[in-house]
Amino acid sequence: MTNDHRSLLVLSIYLNTRGFAFVVFEGQLSPYDWGIRETRGPRKGKRCLPRISQVIDRYAPDVLVIQDTSEQGTRRAGWISKLNGSIAGLAKDRAIPVCAYSRDQVRRALECYGCPNKQGLAEVIAKHIPAFEQYVPPPRKPWMSEDRRMGLFDAAALALLFFQSADTSAR
């Protein structure tokens, strides 16, 4: 008897003002690889796309998960929404299904864990995925900008929502 149930390779990409973060999961709560790529300068979107393409080509995921930046989804800067569309286009060219979730969908899915903010979200994810414990940034003061590592937890949250949605649709 053979095992035809191999784990999905899920790539989650989260765009932010500094570049992007990604997490590759072999299964729920099983990260395979992750990273944060910063891009500076005026044409970040154009410089991010080839780097994202390299990540997609390197891992050849079964599913790509991104943030929903459509009009019904999450409002983001124009260049981020445009880049998100380009990422979806890259996935389509490679015949990779794309799942997109809004910030509200992530919040609703993880509210059972009592995550009042992004810091709480990072702590909950680190509790469930011990490999991420070392990346939890210290709590942010009101005058501080968001820590660059927070994008990693945003990407992980998108992937976890994908797995949660897949589990409920399989029932």
Contact indicator for 71, 34 with CB cutoff of 8 Å: no
C-alpha to C-alpha distances, 126 to 11, 90, 154, nearest whole angstrom: 18, 30, 12
pLDDT in tens, 31-67: 989 999 988 877 777 888 999 999 999 999 999 999 8
Q: What is the pTM of this model?
A: 0.87
pLDDT in tens, 111-135: 777 777 888 889 989 998 999 999 9
The percentage of the chain sitting over the pLDDT mark of 70, rounded to a whole number, equals 93
**Beta carbons within 8 Å of 16's beta carbon, 6+ residues apart:** 80, 146, 150, 151, 154
The domains of the chain, with CATH numbers, are: 10-165 (3.30.420.10)
Distance, CA of 16 to CA of 47 (rounded, Å): 14
